[in-house]
Chain A
Amino acid sequence: MTTELKCHKGIGPRVEGVALVADDNFSARYDLDRINGVFSRPQHKLVGQSYVDRILVLNTSKGGVASAWMLHEMKSRGICPKAILFNSANTILAQGAALADLTMCDRFEDGDVTQLIATGDELIVDPEAGLVTIVAKA
């Protein structure tokens, strides 16, 4: 059975993929080893895990203005998440998603997206419609 989650209008193309979820935040500069495509900050709940081609589901985006360039740079090398879903995105990462044409959505009507979606869930993300569909539970 599929579940539809309504969110705010987002950025980027419609994508399908597998979720990687944590009740934690996201900073492209400080949380990631961008060369190897893994979370690297020791305190991060996803430390050691690969984010490549996953749909990341996290609480909010944090930190530096540099992240805006980094999504574009990560995507140019293909070592990049497929999409990022937040409870609340900050402006920088949304700007970065616009440059990189990376799919990003936030503000889910049914509550905390890090609880609504579990790691391993298969998702379809449609930013224009503001809709995330869980097509298969993990």
Chain B
Amino acid sequence: MRLTDEEQAMLAGDMGEAKRWALDHQIKVGGMFDAADLVPVSQAHMMVDPESVGDAGVSFLENLADHGARVAIPMITDPRGVDLNYYRPLGQTEEMADLDRRTIAACEKMGILMTNTCVNYQTIMPPVLGDHVAYGDTGVVIYSNSVCGARSNFEGGPSALAAGLTGRTPRYGLHLEENRQATRRFVVRAQPKGLTDWGVLGAVAGKMAGSYWEVPVIEGLDAVPTSDEAKHMGAAMASFGSTPLFHLAGITPEAKNLSDVGGDKLAAEDITEDDLETLRSGFGGKGDKVDVVVFAAPQLSLVEMQTLAGLCAGRRFKSPVIVCTSPQVYADATRMGIVETLEATGAKVLEGTCFYNQYAREIGEANGWTRLLSNSAKIVNILGGYGYEPALASMEECVASAIKGEIV
């Protein structure tokens, strides 16, 4: 890999142990993916929830921080594993909270901004077309690449950290123009209506594409999705397919025309109502008992919070209901009375977490929750591996089901 003089100095340890580790890490990863050099990035975003980081990872972070590590570019964080204002009632332990506290302290020492959000493209500083960034969280990456036109690979925690420390990332994958061309062409034959439908469409497209190295271009949509709809679509596509980038012909910035991304040269494959229904049918049915209803994955925007509050104002939930949002949205939603409206129903709004990365398995076991209902196609995909029997329904149906205690 070609290195600049400054990068050579980092690798030699002239700029401290943290930068030496970071550059060495980037060379190893870049080697596997044939990166010719490193590309400067404007922001880094790290997933560093304690459930995945573990004691070993936290010790690693503390060690770097103790060696004077300091990020070179603006660096932000994904949701935390514990809402430090509300964890014992969920059955989370003091040990989990301590791990989170240690992580926060180490990150802050390195100059990392603890934004604790997976909707930074709605709340912090959205990237712009052509902006090279190093983002963690698959939902953040797919949205930023596809809707904003940013350039990012899926950067796992350690690689996002390395990018934050060096201000660069290996130039491979989606940092290269040629890898952003479409490889699959899907034609939508059933129009999505509402967040869950967009998620289901994303899930089907992701399943069909099925690999990090495939780029779907989707045509046939009658309407431009809202930011929240594109968010659910992308998060589900990334979850079901490991997909980091999609184009919507005539909608997203790199695909004003189908031919801009080479879609005209690809065979068209239909996505029909049957395909969407097949995916939906794998997740729950009417009359099933509900142990917990979760609104999360991705964290709710202020608009989703308002919509949810509007649906359940004045009602009383029979089932436990958990709502996860970012600290930025939480502050606004509190100020506007939305959190109060939601919690008057018996729901609990969590700040800076996302249900699936906050020890979901342990929370489920502690509370006896198996049958989980959500409007997020992403969360129902992933929680099967954590001992849940997840079911999928629209936000409206989730609210009605929580009131009744069973899927309506």
Contacts and interface: CB of A to CB of B under 8 A. Distances in A.
Contact of A63 (B54, B56, B157, B239): B239
Interface string A98-110: 1100001010000
Interface string A44-68: 0000000000000000111111111
B382 A68 contact: no
Interface of B: 25, 28-29, 31-33, 47-49, 51-57, 60, 78, 136-138, 153-160, 172-173, 210-213, 239, 241-242, 357, 382, 384-387
Name which of A64, A89, A93, A94 has the most chain B CB atoms within 10 A of its CB: A64
B53 A69 contact: yes
A31 B383 CA distance: 10
A117 B35 CA distance: 29
A95 B211 contact: no
Given A60-B210, A67-B156, A77-B56, 15 more contacts: A8-B32, A29-B385, A30-B384, A61-B242, A65-B137, A65-B154, A65-B160, A68-B159, A70-B54, A72-B57, A88-B212, A91-B153, A91-B172, A94-B29, A99-B158
Interface of A: 8-11, 27, 29-32, 40-43, 60-70, 72-73, 75-77, 88-96, 98-99, 104, 106
A89 B32 contact: yes
B32 A62 contact: no
Nearest to A90: B212
A95 B155 contact: yes
A95 B29 contact: yes
Nearest to A77: B56
Given A9-B32, A76-B56, A91-B173, A65 B242 contact: no
28 contacts: A9-B31, A10-B32, A11-B29, A11-B31, A30-B384, A30-B385, A41-B385, A60-B210, A60-B242, A62-B241, A63-B138, A63-B239, A66-B51, A67-B52, A69-B53, A69-B54, A69-B57, A72-B60, A73-B52, A73-B57, A75-B56, A88-B212, A91-B154, A91-B159, A91-B212, A96-B156, A98-B159, A104-B32
A104 B28 CA distance: 11
A89 B173 CA distance: 12
Contact of B242 (A32, A70, A90): A90
Given A8-B32, A98-B28, A65 B384 contact: no
Contacts of B56: 72-73, 75-77
A44 B357 CA distance: 21
A60 B210 CA distance: 9
Contacts of B29: 11, 91, 94-95, 98
A37 to B, nearest CB: 14
Contacts of B239: 63
B385 A27 contact: yes
B153 A64 contact: no
Nearest to B60: A72
Contacts of A104: 32
B382 A91 contact: no
Nearest to B172: A91
Contacts of A73: 52-57
A63 B382 contact: yes
A63 B213 CA distance: 13
A63 to B, nearest CB: 7
Contacts of B154: 65, 90-92
B242 A62 contact: yes
Contacts of B52: 29, 64, 66-67, 69-70, 73
B270 to A, nearest CB: 24
Per CB-CB distance, the 10 closest pairs between chain A and chain B, nearest first, are A68-B156, A73-B54, A76-B56, A66-B52, A30-B385, A41-B385, A90-B212, A95-B159, A99-B158, A98-B28
Name which of B137, B156, B173 has the most chain A CB atoms within 10 A of its CB: B156
Contact of A60 (B32, B78, B212): B212
Contacts of A40: 385, 387
